Amino acid sequence: MNPKFNSRELNEFFKNYEEKNSAYILGLIIISLGLYILTWIYSINKDLENLDSDAPSSSRGAVLMFVLPFIWFFIITYIKTISNSIIIEFIQVTIFLVIYILILKYLYEFSLTFSHITRTKPIIWFSSFFVGSLGIFGYYLEFYYLFFLFSILLLLIPAMQEQLNVTYHKISIKKNNISFYS
């Protein structure tokens, strides 16, 4: 894979970077019942957005991953109190599927940009997002046996944070001209 960013751009990205412990990130995800995943993606994407014009908009990500699903959940809950028919169920699943596809498109673009900065393969990150999100989608559709897939997301974000930490160390070593073995 050809690196998209040169060392000057990577130094710019990591100039104000604060290294975070992956266990700390995992703890925040567990305490927040998974909502910190959205916060982490938003904050990292905001930094990537400043570096790369091809990065997805962080505000679009916030709307797609947080606002839209919650608004739709409250709308469909209200509609179901009035009427509960097969047509309502079909509309509920169809609109949720559209939201899900939009979220996956955003996560794909995020994975591409993230993999450019860390020089990793985007398919690893996106496939993990996809499989982990199937747990949420399955839970929403009352396929509760799929919810265990959500645990992939619990581990994915700390893994991505660790990859950022490793990339930061590589750039620091290269920038300071430090020998790894000294």
Tens of pLDDT, residues 74-127: 888 888 888 878 888 888 888 988 998 999 999 999 999 999 888 899 999 999
Q: What is the pLDDT of residue 5?
A: 64
Least confident segment among 4-18, 26-40, 41-55, 124-138: 4-18
Judge whether 130 and 110 are in contact, CB under 8 Å: no
Judge whether 133 and 153 are in contact, CB under 8 Å: yes
Judge whether 144 and 27 are in contact, CB under 8 Å: no
User: What CA–CA distance (Å, rounded) separates 39 from 44?
Assistant: 9
Q: What is the mean pLDDT of residues 25-43?
A: 92
Q: Is the pLDDT of residue 168 over 90?
A: no
* Contacts of 108 by beta carbon, 8 Å cutoff, 6+ apart: 122, 126
Q: How confident is the model at residue 4 (pLDDT cuts 50, 70, 90)?
A: low
Q: What is the mean pLDDT of residues 59-78?
A: 87
Least confident segment among 26-30, 58-62, 150-154, 173-177: 173-177
The 10 Å Cβ neighbour count of residue 168 is: 17
Instruction: Give me the residue spans of the domains in the chain.
Output: 19-175
Q: What is the pLDDT of residue 107?
A: 94
Judge whether 150 and 34 are in contact, CB under 8 Å: yes
